[in-house]
Amino acid sequence: MQNKHAQNLPHLEREIIRSVAAALEEDIGTGDITAQLVPADELATAEVITRENCTFCGKVWVEETFRQLDSRVEILWNIEDGEKAQANQVLFTLKGNARALLSGERTALNFVQLLSGTATTAAKYAELVKGTKIKILDTRKTIPGLRNAQKYAVACGGCHNHRVGLYDAFLIKENHIMAAGSIAQAVAKAREIAPGKPIEVEVETLSELNQALACDVDIVMLDEMDLTEVNQHLADKPLHAELELSGGVDVTQINTQQPLFNIISRISVGALTKHCSSVDLSMRVI
């Protein structure tokens, strides 16, 4: 099995090492006293299963967890990131020192349940726009310290990443516009600060939409705007910017308003990373 998302992992390597180390320190602290009930040289085999259907994500986090605990632990994989799993499916098997397996269980499963939950939520949204030009994008509403991990999971689920942070693209919102004086002034200043960086402007009215389009920005974010009005307003007008729908967009809205999406190419959904439910997993020694 090949992980088609593997090209997104190299830039995550240092972050994975840090986050796994922090998670192990948080859980094990001065030592796993319960694992010491097992003889130090005891060997064991354990299977990790999912209790529910999901889109799997988190393989490298599992591997790093047991690498840091005991590099001799062998992991036999039955799935790759981005693949679908059925309830009660064995995701992977662990073989090695029993104490290491027991001490790493919760840390490894915590990463997998969160990232698989994110990927599963993303897969549901991706399915809604399958066959259209629309991209579903995540936001910065992520768990602190795990933003890049969650954004990787979003991609595994078939959705797309918005800007990573405050450094790689401009997103000019109401408060920025008020402080700068106008949309035009904010956009002009952005081009001075970081020429070539993508510029996106959030608008709430048709007047603001006109102003943003007049500035020839890359993307205009429509914040909770009436799509019927927007479609009528832009009818037969040339459009040189991508339009992004935002503001509490959920599955129901995407289902019911799809006929109005002909001018939309992007939908940003905070729920991809903010409201996802962790997948129910279990490890059992066999």
Beta carbons within 10 angstroms of residue 129's beta carbon:
18
202 assigned to active site: yes
Q: Which residues of 152-170 are buried (b: 16+ CB within 10 A; e: fewer)?
A: bbbbbbbbbbbbeeeeebb
CA neighbor of 275 nearest in space, from 129, 114, 163: 114
The number of angstroms, rounded, from the C-alpha of 283 to the middle of its chain's C-alpha atoms is 25
Q: Per 3-state DSSP, what percentage of the chain is helix, strand, and coil (rounded to 5)?
A: 45, 20, 35
Which residue in the list 223, 242, 274, 280 is annotated as catalytic?
Answer: 223
Q: Which of 67, 163, 173, 274 is catalytic?
A: 173
Let me know if 106 is a catalytic residue: yes
| Edge-to-edge strands, sheet with 43-50 | 74-77, 90-97, 43-50, 281-285
Q: Assess contact for 242 and 115: CB atoms under 8 A.
A: no
For residues 147 and 16, the answer to whether their CB atoms sit within 8 Å is: no
81: DSSP letter? T
Tell me if residue 59 is catalytic: no
67 in active site? no
Active-site residue (options: 81, 105, 202, 244) = 202
Cα 22 to chain centroid, rounded? 20
Question: Would you give the distance in Å from CA 64 to the centre of its chain?
Answer: 20
Catalytic hit among 67, 106, 140, 147 = 106
Name the active-site residue from 67, 141, 163, 191: 141
Tell me the C-alpha distance between 156 and 141, whole Å. 18
Contacts of 83 (CB under 8 A, 6+ apart): 1, 55, 56
Active site residue ranges:
106, 141, 173, 202, 223
